Amino acid sequence: MNVTYDFSGKVALVTGAASGMGRVSALAFAAAGATVAVTDIDTTGGRSVAEEITDAGGNARFFEVNVTDPDSVQAGVADLVSAFGGLDFAHNNAGAEGQHGKFLEQSRENFDKTVAVNYASIFHCMQAEIPAMLERGGGSIVNTASAAGIIGGYGFAPYGGAKTGVIGLTKHVAQEMAEHNIRINSLAPGPINTPFIADFPKPVLDRLLTGTPIGRLGEPDEIAQAVLWLCSDGASYVIGTALTVDGGTVIGGMSTRADDLGH
Catalytic sites, residue numbers: 159
How far is it, in rounded angstroms, from Cα 95 to Cα 72? Answer: 16
Report the chain's terminal Cα–Cα distance, integer Å.
43
How far is it, in rounded angstroms, from Cα 128 to Cα 124? Answer: 6
Helices (H), the chain: 20-31, 43-55, 70-84, 108-115, 121-136, 157-177, 202-210, 220-231, 249-252
How far is it, in rounded angstroms, from Cα 23 to Cα 195? Answer: 11
How far is it, in rounded angstroms, from Cα 58 to Cα 45? Answer: 17
Tell me, what amino acid is at 181?
Answer: N
Beta bridge partners of 40: 64
